[in-house]
């Protein structure tokens, strides 16, 4: 379990790293992935001088496991209050695990337009990747067992919960 202060520090470090990696100008925009990614993005966004409003993606319609689990009853509209074309997008999520959520998010972004680049920033990067997707900026690395889960709870306070398999 991480305390809120730890998470704030992690997000602060992510902001420092993003400033080093990404040229933040009028073509830069940030997008958080519902739900945890939006919470992280809401704390990360004010630390960077991004002029475009924060965007939000709900990737429910782009999941590759729809035929197994059906429709998520809590789906929310995606909101991208800017043109995606030629933007440098900072894509923010809470946990990078299999990579499937990020694949879905990128598919959705490309249905809005053709970004100049996408930089992936995640609060937690854990093992268990199933797709060749890696984060450029990571708050924390975790080595977990196959049956273990890490979850961000929030939005106030933000806390990481790790549920260990028995």
Partner 1 sequence: MSANLQIGEDGRLRHFLSIEGLNRGLLTEILDTAESFAGVTEQSVKKVPLLRGKTIVNLFFEASTRTRTTFELAAKRLSADVLNININASSAVKGETLLDTLRNLEAMHIDMFVVRHTDSGTANFIASHVQPHVSVINAGDGRHSHPTQAMLDMFTIRREKGPDFGRLTVAIVGDIAHSRVARSQIHALNLLNVGDLRVVAPRTLIPAHVESLGVRVFHDLQEGLRDADVIIMLRLQRERMQGAMLPSEHEYYRLYGLTRERLTNAKPDVTVMHPGPINRGVEMDSQVADGPRSVILEQVTYGIATRMAVMSMAMHPVSSQENHG
Strand-pairing partners, residue 45, are none
Counting contacts by CB under 8 A, is residue 58 touching partner 1? yes
Q: 7, 92, 95, 137: which one contacts partner 1 (CB under 8 A)?
A: 95
Shortest spacing between CB 16 and partner 1, in angstroms: 26
Counting contacts by CB under 8 A, is residue 98 touching partner 1? yes
Q: 27, 60, 153, 159: which one contacts partner 1 (CB under 8 A)?
A: 60
Residue 148 — left, alpha, or beta (φ > 0 → left; ψ -120 to 50 → alpha)?
beta
Which residues of the shown chain bind partner 1 in the complex (CB under 8 A)? Answer: 58, 60-63, 65-71, 73, 75-80, 85, 95-101, 104, 107-108, 110-113, 128, 130, 149
């Amino acid at each position: 379990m991480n305390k809120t202060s730890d998470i704030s520090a992690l997000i602060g470090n992510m902001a420092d790293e993003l400033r080093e990696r990404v040229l933040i100008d009028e073509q830069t925009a940030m997008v958080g992935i519902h739900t945890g990614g939006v919470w992280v993005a809401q704390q990360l966004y004010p630390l960077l001088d991004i002029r475009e409003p924060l965007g939000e993606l709900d990737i429910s319609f782009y999941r590759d496991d729809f035929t197994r689990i059906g429709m998520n009853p809590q789906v929310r509209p995606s909101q991208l209050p800017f043109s995606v074309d030629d933007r440098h997008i900072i894509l923010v999520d809470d946990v990078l695990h299999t990579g499937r959520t990020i694949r879905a998010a990128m598919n959705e972004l490309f249905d809005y337009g053709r970004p100049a680049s996408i930089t992936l920033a995640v609060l937690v990067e854990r093992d268990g990747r199933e797709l060749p997707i890696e984060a450029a900026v990571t708050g924390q690395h975790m080595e977990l067992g196959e049956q273990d889960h890490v979850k961000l709870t929030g939005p106030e306070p933000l806390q990481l919960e790790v549920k260990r398999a028995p």
